[in-house]
Structure 1
């Protein structure tokens, strides 16, 4: 039985950035103590970098000491083919606290508001070394696009 190969498309960098600009949430990944850690974050794109807010803690301390990756994904609204398209973008690089006063003052003006309650006073900037993305048709035969999840 031969299955048709999935027509995965590699996304150019400009399309990856465009998708990230309209995406409200992603996952920040890094290793801490030899173990992977992944945290959901909301972020904004600022001059070819990713900016997010956090508190003093794991995300701020560990992310400054390790290479990090941000992953975000979603669905293209209508690809024009009648098929839903799934996309995924990964940004890899280094993150650092924004500490220079002028840069911090400019960053505070970004539309970046924490979703989680509590103090999120630390602004962090992920400076990318690489950005990559891909898109492929959603296989509706394998899984539904929308499904309800109940916490039990």
Structure 2
């Protein structure tokens, strides 16, 4: 990343590393004729993203159309850098041993609701970018003494 090019393309290994460090992201999915996006907490299981869900729109969406997108990001105010990882993949409802194996993952519910359904997103495409933020308006604000 340089002053001329404020965007760095992250390697696949770096994308996987950052996916493994976080546990909260957003999944976009089709439901009927609309695209929905919803927050999920997740864990990695080899080459796939796994999450739990209750009955509802997420579960119905992946049952009706397996094509999904998933995204995580972060902004570091101190270093004026941000990054984003985008995954495109195929979501399937896991059953049997695959679903039971989710109990061994670092998959913790953030909301105290029953979530008996386990979904896996098979990663088909993975990309990431890191950005050097310029945000010139910050330098225009009056400074406190």
TM-score (norm 1): 0.80
**Of residues 82, 93, 96 in structure 2, which corresponds to 1:97?**
93
Aligned to 1:37: 36
Structure 2: gaps spanning 5 or more residues: 139-145
Q: Residue 105 of structure 1: CA displacement?
A: 2.2
Would you say how many aligned residue pairs link Structure 1 and Structure 2? 136
Aligned with residue 105 of structure 2, among 102, 107, 110: 110
TM-fit CA distance, 1:106? 1.7
**Whose helix fraction is larger, Structure 1's or Structure 2's?**
2
Residues 62 and 93 of structure 2 are in contact (CA less than 8 Å); yes or no, is this contact kept in structure 1? no
* Aligned mates of 2:32, 2:5 — CA distance in 1: 37
Q: Aligned to 1:70, what secondary structure does the other structure show?
A: strand
CA contact (8 A) 1:76 1:86 kept: yes
SS of the aligned residue for 1:114 comes to: coil
Question: Residues 24 and 141 of structure 1: is their aligned pair in 2 closer, same or farther, counting only changes over 3 Å?
Answer: farther
Note closer, same or farther for the CA distance 1:64–1:77 as it changes in structure 2 (3 Å cut).
farther
Any gaps of 5 or more consecutive residues in structure 1? Answer: 144-152
Tell me, in whole angstroms, the C-alpha distance in 1 between the residues paired with 2:46 and 2:76.
24
Shift of 1:29: 0.2
Conserved in 2, the CA contact under 8 Å of 1:64 and 1:94? no
- In the TM superposition, residue 65 of structure 1 has moved relative to its aligned partner by 2.5
Mapped to 2, the partners of 1:77 and 1:13 lie a distance apart of 25
Shift of the 95–7 alpha-carbon distance from structure 1 to 2, 3 Å rule, reads same
Q: Cα–Cα, structure 1 residues 32 and 45, in superposed 2: closer, same or farther, change >3 Å?
A: same
Q: Does structure 1 conserve the Cα–Cα contact (< 8 Å) formed by 2:44 and 2:50?
A: yes
